[in-house]
Chain A
Amino acid sequence: GQQLNQSPQSMFIQEGEDVSMNCTSSSIFNTWLWYKQDPGEGPVLLIALYKAGELTSNGRLTAQFGITRKDSFLNISASIPSDVGIYFCAGQLATNAGKSTFGDGTTLTVKP
Chain B
Amino acid sequence: DVKVTQSSRYLVKRTGEKVFLECVQDMDHENMFWYRQDPGLGLRLIYFSYDVKMKEKGDIPEGYSVSREKKERFSLILESASTNQTSMYLCASSGGTFQTQYFGPGTRLLVL
Contacts and interface: CB of A to CB of B under 8 A. Distances in A.
Interface string B73-112: 0000000000000000010101011111111111000000
A59 to B, nearest CB: 18
A97 B94 CA distance: 11
A48 interface: yes
Given A42-B105, A43-B103, A102-B43, A94 B90 contact: no
A99 B50 CA distance: 10
B109 to A, nearest CB: 14
A75 interface: no
Interface string B36-50: 000011110100101
Given A102-B43, A104-B40, A104-B42, A42 B98 contact: no
Interface residues of B, number: 29
B83 to A, nearest CB: 22
11 contacts: A31-B98, A35-B103, A41-B105, A42-B92, A43-B90, A88-B42, A88-B43, A98-B31, A98-B96, A98-B97, A104-B42
Interface of B: 4, 30-31, 33, 35, 40-43, 45, 48, 50, 56, 58-59, 90, 92, 94, 96-106
